Amino acid sequence: MAEAFARMHGGGVIEPFSAGSRPSGRVNPRAVQAMSEVGYDLSVHRSTGTDDLPPGEFAYAITMGCGDDCPWLVAEHHEDWPIPDPKDLETEAFNTVRDEIEQRVQELIARIRAAEPRSAKR
């Protein structure tokens, strides 16, 4: 969902990638439904792992609530957002997590935009 929100709100600012530490091979149908409610077709995505990420250093590596169990990625900035895994939550709580992810993604994009040199701003 974070990658989807980054694509929705971060055009021209970031190139998002999403990868799980234990990918299931399929996108959670509940996430597909939750994202369709906000106008995004998540069914076109696939479940990927960190081995699927492009090589090299990232500007930001954002993990979500896995703490010390998170895989390490080479990145200039690391953040762990303490967000619960919504997969077993009731629909309302699932959507609350979705909305928190959207808010955090928008805040990250705003920080990145604010840090751009003036000549790079549009």
Q: How much is the pLDDT for 23?
A: 82
Residue 61 bridge partners (DSSP): 78
Output the 3-class SS for the chain.
CHHHHHHHHCCCCCCCCCCECCCCCCCCHHHHHHHHCCCCCHHHCCCCEHHHCCCCCEEEEEEECCHHHCCCCCEEEEEEECCCCHHHCCHHHHHHHHHHHHHHHHHHHHHHHHHCCHHHCC
- Does residue 58 form part of some domain? yes
Cβ burial, residue 7 (10 Å; 0-12/13-18/19+): middle
Q: Which domain holds residue 84?
A: 2-114
CA distances from 48 to 7, 32, 52, 121 (A): 17, 15, 6, 32
pLDDT in tens, the chain (122 residues): 999 999 999 988 899 999 887 788 889 999 999 999 999 999 999 889 888 899 999 999 999 877 667 778 899 999 999 999 898 999 999 999 999 999 999 999 999 999 876 544 43
- Does residue 120 form part of some domain? no
- Does residue 78 form part of some domain? yes
- Does residue 119 form part of some domain? no
All residues at 6 or more sequence positions from 52 whose CB lies less than 8 Å from its CB, including other chains: 19, 23
Its pTM stands at: 0.88
- Does residue 122 form part of some domain? no
Whichever domain contains 59, its CATH number is 3.40.50.2300
How many separate domains does the chain show? Answer: 1
